[in-house]
Structures are given as C-alpha cells and as structure tokens.
Structure 1
Amino acid sequence: MTFTLTEAEAAASVPADLLDADFYAFQHLLTDREQSALRDIRAFLDTEVRPFADDLWERAESPRHLVPRIAELGLYGNGFAETRRFENSNVFRGWVALEIARADPSLATFIGVHSGLAMTSISVGGSAEQKAEWLPRLGAGELVAAFGLTEPGHGSDTARGLETTAERRGDHWVLNGAKRWIGNGAFADLVVIWARDVADDQVKGFLVRTPAVGFSASKIERKQSLRGVENADILMTDLVVPERDRLQHIDGFRDLAVVLRLTRAEVAWQGLGVAVGAYEAALAYAKARIQFGKPIASFQLVQQKLAVALSNITASIALSVRVSQMQDEGIQRDHHSAMAKAFVSARVRETVALCREICGGNGIQLGGESQVDGIPPGYGVARYFADAEAVYTFEGTYDMNTLIVGRAITGIAAFT
C-alpha cells in the first residue's frame, strides 16, 4: 500500500513561520520578540544575500557592501549590553547564526569573526574604557574587526606553542611574529592579536589599529572552502602597540579560553546553517529533477538520504539549543561547547555529502540562474559541500574537541 500526502496536507505539516528543516519546531522556544526579529533577518537574507552568495563565493570576495545593512538589523553585538537592540537569549543568537549560514556560510564567518571572536574578546578582556571606545563602533559597523590567534606553525597547540611575542617597553609594547588564516584580516580596521609576553610567558591580547607601521596583511588565495571569507597572512615586525590598547583583563591563556568557549557554541549553530542550506537545496532539487518519468523525490533511496540528513539536523539542533540554554543559565563549560562543536560538525559533513549525492553530477556546480532539464535555479549544494570542510576544522578541530570531552569524562588529559 502506498501512502501519499496531498499538497495541502504536506504544507500544513510544517508551520508557515518555520524552516522545513526545523522538524520539531525548536524555533518556537524563542520569545515572540525573538521570533519576530528572526523573521526579519530571514527575509533580509533570502532577498539580499542568498541570490548573490554563489557569485561572491566564486569571486572569493567578502560581502563588505552588506556591512551597513547588517548593522542596521542589529546582527553585530547581539550579546553585549553596549550594542544589543533588545534583551535576547543565547538560543536566539544561535538561531541567528544558523540563519546567516543557511544563506551564506562565508557571511556567517565574516560576522562570527567580527561580532563573535573580536567583540567577545573586548567584552571579556577589555576595560570599561575599551568597551566604551570599541563596542559601539563595531556594533554600528563603522569598523571591521579580525581575530589573530592561529599561526603558521601553531593551530591546535596555541595554548603552549604561541610564538608571537610581546615585549613591554615603557608605555608601549613591541610585537613580533606571524598569524595565518585570519578571517577579515585582509581588510580589517582593528585586529585582536594574541601574543606571549616575553617577561612572564603569559598570553596577552592587543588591539591593533590598522594600517600600522610594522604590520602587513596579505590575502590567502586559491582557497576551496569559505571562499567568501578573505583570510590573511599577517606579519608583525617591531609593531608598536600602546599599553592603553592591551586588553586589560587578559592575564593568560585561561582568559582567552573563556572567549573560545563562548564562541565555539555559536560555531556549532553556524555548522547547522550549512547543513540546513544543503538540505533545502537537495530537497528542492529532488522534487524538481525528473528521472524515469517522475521526480527523484519519489524514489525510496532518495527519501532515505533526506531522512538521514533531516535526522542529523534535528539531533544537532537539540544539542545546540541545550548548550545555548546552559550559557543562559551560566552553567556551560568548555566540554559542553566542545561536544556540540564536534558532534554537529561531524553530522554536517555527513549531511552535505548526502545532499550532494542526491543532486548527482549537478551537485558539483554552483547554482545557476536558469532551469535546465529539471534543475531548479540556485540549487547550489556544491558551495555548502565545500564550506562544510572549513567548519569541521576551525574553532577547534574535531579531534581536539573530542579530547576536551574525553578529559571531562575521564579526568585524564590525552592531548599529547
């Protein structure tokens, strides 16, 4: 016996205000004010971002022209008292990250670096004066910020291996070293640089205003993931930074770890957006693509792939929602956000592969503007498929995050 839903029944199975991928209606956990804001953000992304994301990705350009609109919608600094438009939860901020990545993972990373890593560094480590000077300007989009931690020779081991040095000389510091894979670094007005104090061997944070003598940034070319993020190699040679631009409440890597814990949970939400974008594209393709005289969505194996993809997304939303709730409750710890980032990024990787497979050979091409042989315009699974690889790696690799969880389980560190 074959069971078939009518179009009306299928449409009624998902409330109109929910994404198709929100199978358990998690969005309804948000307040009415948060849901209203989320709908406005979704409308902006669907009309002003998604239609142009493939083209920017192919040209390897960041959407800098969107900075004023992003600021106008309040997408910068949602979590900070100095810049947020209204009282909101970490769950809401997670949903915003999902929605942005659903439209364009590169834009989500652009905002995540600026508003997440850089602004959080100032919020966590800055003095009252530094917060007052920088957070409103960054929240208004007057400046673009970057976050400089990773080095050419150090990624996972930055806690012990950071080579960039800072030497105090009177009322200023002299920085020497190199950074790599710095998102927004090719054009940022303000770069948060992490360096090791030669006097006490502790990691400290510095606000570097660009351009500056002794500071150079060059765009990393020929990337095959998150091409819309203009990552940079940064070189600092006797770069002078005044003491007033040292983050006054950062006294070691433990303080930096607070920043990473807070942002890592949001990266899990970004990964979810990548999976949701791929799922939506694959579902649209499956309904439109005709083979053997009928849509491939009617084939059992295609439906099985869609069901696995949606199950991955649903489980990942549940985990991410709870981690964000724990942030709101003040009980989230490093291992909680590490588990979320590791689990979600692994499920994202599986999901985008299934979605690419559903689209067959057409799944390796960026979305087009016209419909050919049943291919819906703008299907674009290829972009999500490629971008998932960067999400799997940044903000702590899968291996490093699982080791953080393993340490919490056993009480034994197994990093080396």
Structure 2
Amino acid sequence: MQGESKGPIFGGDHVDFRDSVFLGPVTGKTEHHHSHHHCGAAPTALESLPAMPSGFTGREAELRTLLDALEPGAANASTSVPVTAVSGLGGVGKTALALAAAHEARGRKWFPGGVLFVDLHGYEGTPVTADLALQALLRALGVPPGQLPTGTEERGALYRTKLTEIARDRGPLLLFADNASSAGQVRDLLPGCLGHRALITSRHRLAALGARLLTLDGLPAAAAVGLLDRALRTADPADTRVADDTKSASLLAELCGRLPLALQIAAALLSTDPGTPVYELVTELIEAQSRIDCLDDGELSVRLTFDLSYRRLPEAEARLLRLFALLPGTESGLAAVEALHGKRGRTVRVLLAALERAHLVEPGSCPGRWRLHDLVREYAAQEATATERGAARTRVMSFYLERARAADVHVRTGP
C-alpha cells in the first residue's frame, strides 16, 4: 500500500502504519499477575494486532493452511510449526491473509500471551534493521528505553528471556513480522522457546529461515469478481454494478491480473464515480497505452508497488526481467531466455532463480519454462530502453530463425 494516512490503511498486501505507533513503541497493554513464579507487571502486546482488513475473500484454502501451521499444542504437532512465511508478488494480498489468520487464531484463544506486530518496511528506502526491530519489541514487552542493553546480542538475549517469561506466566505468543525483505531481517526476532509462533510476510521466498513456506498467487476468477463486488458494496450497499454486469466484471478482473491490489484500485475508481458502468472502465483499460498507469486511485498504485520490488534488484536481475518481458507468448523456455540474454549456461539459470524467489518470474507449465504475471510483464517492458528492445528483438528473431531452419532440415531429411 502506498500513500499516507492518519491511521492504518489496507491495500493489496501492505499495511501502512507510518502515522501510527508500532515501531517506537508498539502500543501494548500491561496486566498484573501475582504468583509464586513472578510478582509485578507481566507486559503483553494484546493491542498491537492491526484491524482485520475489509474485503478479504477468496483465500479459504490458504487460510486453513496458515491456521494448521499456527495452532499450538501437541494435538497438531504434525502440521504446526514455529515459523511460517507467506510470500508472493507485491499486491497479492499477503498481509491481508496473515491478518485474517492472526485474528482467527486470537479468536480461538491460541495466543493468551498476546501478539507482537512489527512492520519491517523491507522494500522501502530505509528498511527497519533487525536491531531496531528488537528495540521496538523490547519496549513493547515493557522494557523502558533507558534499560535497553547496548549490544544487539544482549538485546536478543533479553528479548528471548522476556518471551520465555511470557510462555511460563501467560502462554503462547504470536510474533507477526510484516514486509520482511530477507531472512536476516527477521532471524534475530524469532522466538526461542517452544509454544510461541512467528508469522512473516515477504515478497521473497525466505527458504533460509527453515520455515513453513506458503506462496500466494492471484485470486481465482470467481473470488476476484467477488472482491470487486464486496468492495463496491462496502462503499455503497446499493451498488449492484458487478452483479448487474458479471461479464464485464469478469473481464475487469482479468485485466487486473486477478491481483488484489489492482482489483481494489479498480473498485475505488468505480466507487468515486457511481454513474460509471463497469464496461466503461474495462474499455478504458483495454484502450489505454498503459494499464499500469490507469490502475492508480491517488492513494494506491500498482506502479509504485512494483517499483519497490524492482528498485531493489541487482542490475543483472533487473536487466533480465526487462528483457524477459519483451519475449512473445505467455511463457518461455530456457533456450529462448538465454538467446534473449545473449549468454548461455549457469548465469541465466541463477538469475531466473533469483527472480523466481522474488516472485517477479513464475514457474511455467512444466520444469524449464517460466512466465510473467501480465501486469509485471507490462511494467518491466516499459522499463526497457530502446537500445535493449532493438538488440533483444535481433537476438530472439535469430534464435527462432535458427530453430525454424533446423526443423525444416529435420522434416526434409527425416523418414
């Protein structure tokens, strides 16, 4: 989610809390318990979980998977894990899903120790470092700023000690780390004692954490139309434009790539002009030179969301993404990508793997083939220079011409 607000804003997969207080300090609640184990304050963070996002829909299977992973206790030992990481393309709805799971888990009273929430802003200009996040979490756990240890290791040790005390006195706690860009950003924040759970969202697949990994794709077609309808009816319960023209709504969902962020922007554009039929927005997107630029409602923007991912790429990865977007067809094999890149061998495979971990390139219909989300393809193609376009076109046409000649020879000389 882009833009600023006086309170939490939900959009796509990002929650913007820049004007709210979570990182310095997280708003918490202190409760007092007296026992032979511990006397005095037992600080928790029961108030730090953001509100449930409106318009959440179409993720029933993924929600069940998350809840299976989060559930504490031996009864679910085969499926529950200490750390779960949700990853996917920017705007695909990771934060919304994670929030839905966290609220459901709290409703089931799985985490009497509370919920610690921290937004790591991993893809913005100044990501929150692990050390700064530790300081914020310690303050949320009741440690006065003047009593924070000076070193990162000492802060980590105190943090784990506090979590152990909570596990003993109150029970399991959930750590929700949103918008992490790397495993290193969250590794020092993970609870060290049994029972606690950690839920992480990232645009990268954080395999190095040893976590349960859940990848989100675009919404199913019916759910994408349902999101449009729910968003319009939230703004105006009498708005039946989606139900009245399901054919145009289905086409609009496809033009948005079934990406929740793009769908919410489209719904916002329709809501600001109640007299606009759905088919008019569909026509505008089809005829526009850039769907990316049309999908901007002044607060949410598909282009700005993709910018956050693209600007963090090393140049070699960014170049391959730009070139890949120029390939014809819906998906491509390794040989075509190598011809496009101008090099063959391990280099291209390594770059493709890195782009796949960042969810900017998706696996194709079979191993050795890759594809791009429609909106990512449009975005990346617009980033390519005229020189890159010309050179890429020459290399790709030469590759296909060579393959066509080889096929012709095979047909003419074969049995």
- TM-score computed with the length of structure 1 as normaliser: 0.28
Larger Rg: 2
